[in-house]
Amino acid sequence: MFPYSSGKYQIPNPNYRFIPQGQYYNPYSEPSWAWWHYPQDFGGSYRLPAPQRLTFVLVHGAWADSHFWDDVAEVLRSHGNTVHAPEYAGHGSDPNKNVTHAMISKSVVDYIKHLNLHDFILVGHSFGGTVIQKVAEQVPDRIKRLVFWDAFVLKDGESLVDQLPPPTRQGFEALRKMSNDDTIMLPFETFRAMFVNTASTEDAKHFYTSVAPEPAKPLFEKLDLKAFYALPTPKSYVYFYQDNVLPQGEGYGWHPHMSTRLGLFRLIVGDGDHFTDTRTRPAYLAQKIYDASRD
């Protein structure tokens, strides 16, 4: 309704909308001005509202495949939601690691169109944030809400590695050079410290057996995201505060550094790390994603 520029302030995107489109209410038309009391606090029986049943499309990140979501999807389905977890190019059983970012987002767009999905919550984790940014540009009218969980939100013209502190970026570059198929494989101790820091020793080792070399190119590609920043789609950010993939603060990190780029967004915070809760607390993670997704 009233898009405006952000001036010199660098955090939110220039297309930030404080006032959602079509959401202005006549202030004097309806409100009763009566503060509402939560029934639970006053004893008696309280009829919980029926939870909303949603459709989710879950997009995994790097060093993962679509089975990343298996346990979370099971929890969400058990509560009556519909869940899709598409695989994308260069991942899962795809033997071709020579992929581009456009091929990856096309995988997800094709999946959505093939199943003719509409009115769904599009969730991205980690690198998957960049994927849902590009997918949202291509099928905006099908998406009910975008949910980023410890996910990259790139500015127009940035690559994922632009958001890494220089030592991490240099580590990625060194690992890339060590491969013979332009992939990056995380050493165990790096993965253990940054991705599954809260896991038990045994769980960390289990997780690592699922980690495959990641195609390097899409992490280094600069993305055109002008269309993304013009989208009025509602957005949420789920931040887990033990996540150790990025330093939090001093110019880096998930929240608020990347979350605020979304403009108006709903914040949900949890206490997990980058990967562990998908296996050890899928119900907890599913609840956080649901809290970020409901109307």
Question: If residue 75 lies in a helix (H) or strand (E), which one and from where to where?
Answer: helix 70-78
Kindly tell me which of 156 and 291 has the beta carbon lying closer to its own copies.
291
At residue 244, φ and ψ (nearest 5 deg) are -120, 20
Q: Could you tell me which of 211, 188, 187, 200 has the C-alpha nearest to residue 68?
A: 211
Residue for token pair 């999946």: 111
Instruction: Convert residues 189-228 into a mask of x (bound to its own copies by CB under 8 A) and - (unbound).
Output: xx-xxx--xx-xxxx--xxxxxxxx---------------
Q: Which residues of 55-91 are buried (b: 16+ CB within 10 A; e: fewer)?
A: bbbbbbbbbbbbebbebbbebbeeeebebbbbbbbbb
Minimal distance, residue 194 CB to its own copies, in Å = 7
Please, which of residues 249-278 interact with its own copies by CB under 8 A?
A: 249-253, 255-257, 259-260, 263-269, 271, 273
Q: Among 82, 138, 168, 233, which residue interacts with its own copies (rule: CB under 8 A)?
A: 168
Whole-number Cα distances in Å, 63 to 136, 169, 170, 179, 203: 22, 16, 18, 15, 16
Q: Among 19, 102, 115, 230, which residue interacts with its own copies (rule: CB under 8 A)?
A: 19
Instruction: Convert residues 85-124 into a mask of x (bound to its own copies by CB under 8 A) and - (unbound).
Output: ----------------------------------------
Minimal distance, residue 86 CB to its own copies, in Å = 15
Q: How many residues bind its own copies (CB under 8 A)?
A: 102
Q: With contacts defined by CB under 8 A, name the span among 27-35, 81-89, 125-133, 153-161 that binds its own copies.
A: 27-35
d(CA 12, CA 239): 17
d(CA 183, CA 161): 14
121 beta partners: 56, 145
Q: How far is CA 278 from the centre of its chain?
A: 14
Minimal distance, residue 75 CB to its own copies, in Å = 8
| Contact flag: residue 81 with its own copies (CB under 8 A) | no
Residue for token pair 């899928």: 282
| Contact flag: residue 23 with its own copies (CB under 8 A) | yes
Q: Among 124, 215, 218, 282, which residue interacts with its own copies (rule: CB under 8 A)?
A: 282
d(CA 80, CA 69): 16
Kindly tell me which of 64 and 109 has the beta carbon lying closer to its own copies.
64
Q: Among 79, 178, 224, 230, which residue interacts with its own copies (rule: CB under 8 A)?
A: 178
Kindly tell me which of 109 and 164 has the beta carbon lying closer to its own copies.
164
Question: If residue 120 lies in a helix (H) or strand (E), which one and from where to where?
Answer: strand 120-125
Q: Among 100, 144, 155, 241, which residue interacts with its own copies (rule: CB under 8 A)?
A: 241
Kindly tell me which of 141 and 202 has the beta carbon lying closer to its own copies.
202
Please, which of residues 47-66 interact with its own copies by CB under 8 A?
A: 49, 52, 65
d(CA 256, CA 145): 19
SS3 state at 279 = helix
